[in-house]
Amino acid sequence: MKYKNLGSSGIKVSVIGLGCMGMTHAYGAPSDEADMTELIHAAVDMGVTFFDTAECYAAEDTGGKTLYNEELVGKALKPYRGKIVIATKFGVRHRSDSTLLTDSRPETIRKSVEGSLKRLNTDYIDLYYQHRIDPDIQPEEVAEVMSELIREGKIRAWGVSEAGEDYILRANKVCRMAAVQNRYSMMYQSYDNLLPVLKSADIAFVAHSPLANGFLSGKYDESSRFDERYDYRSGMPQFKAENIDKNMALLKLLSDIAEEKSATSAQISLAWLMEKGIIPIPGTRKLQRLRENIGAADIALTAAEAENIDCALRNMEMSEVFGGHKAS
């Protein structure tokens, strides 16, 4: 495993992290806690030091019990606490209609950080993200609260998720950010303009959904089905049977490059991100997929190879791709 700094924060992380959301939320009924604990431990053994969760990642199991992702992650990582980096998020609540309610009022942030510290069973949070922008709260006000939490030792560093240039730079003037976590993959490059901005500001770019919610692994086809109650992929356009054909050129591009590199499609997708300086945080519930994703750190793409991929992507038909739930 290779490691890099989270911007100018002084925090070093593995070049591939592990997104833990899907273990309890959004990708099927919550998995067995013991199995997911074993998976997280395996990730640590393979060199992963960067683990991502959020206060809103929670779901009811088949028995009606609410399972909190932070509790799972905190308990599993307790034996390694001084050796790993935990990122969690505040400022979002899920509505029953799948839209997101944002709330980044200072008093709400204060309540959220205490709740996350308790669920994670830790004295500090390494990286604390504003999960979504609250249109009613100015970035400077959020940043000031982050500055206070850093001084108090409750968080080491902070960042935002799904934010644009103006918001980031305004907040960064008040309290320096370590990272921005936005959706980014071969199928979703809406934040391409941010790459030079973040590089100039020495802020890390962390990509969630780096495999387009798993689609770029090439493991799905027209016959793929998802649990409509527990699995958000059931409503994502890239998995619809009528859209599979629109993405065949992309899947073939990945499989052809993977064959040349003795790799897999998922590994090429992740290696492409890392060549751009992006830190991907793919999620999984399976040990085989975990090994595959981590193995992408050993796949080297040259700048020229990445540019060839970029050129192909710019001239390629693709279906619509899921861009996240609406927030307000």
Q: Hey, which residues are catalytic here? A: 57
AA letter at 118: K
The rounded distance, in Å, linking the Cα atoms of 146 and 132 is: 15
The rounded distance, in Å, linking the Cα atoms of 125 and 181 is: 16
Q: What is the DSSP string of 87-151?
A: EEEESEEE-TTS-EEE---HHHHHHHHHHHHHHHT-S-EEEEEE-S--TTS-HHHHHHHHHHHHH
* Closest of 19, 24, 81, 25 to residue 53, by C-alpha: 19
The rounded distance, in Å, linking the Cα atoms of 301 and 310 is: 12
Take residue 156 and report the two structure tokens written for it.
């080491």
Contact (Cβ atoms closer than 8 angstroms) between residue 128 and residue 90: yes
202: left (phi over 0), alpha (psi -120 to 50) or beta: left
Take residue 184 and report the two structure tokens written for it.
């980014």
The rounded distance, in Å, linking the Cα atoms of 24 and 30 is: 4
* Closest of 102, 90, 265, 276 to residue 184, by C-alpha: 276
Contact (Cβ atoms closer than 8 angstroms) between residue 162 and residue 132: yes
Please compute, for residue 149, the number of CA atoms within 13 A of its CA located in the half-sphere on the CB side.
30
| Residue 175 DSSP code | S
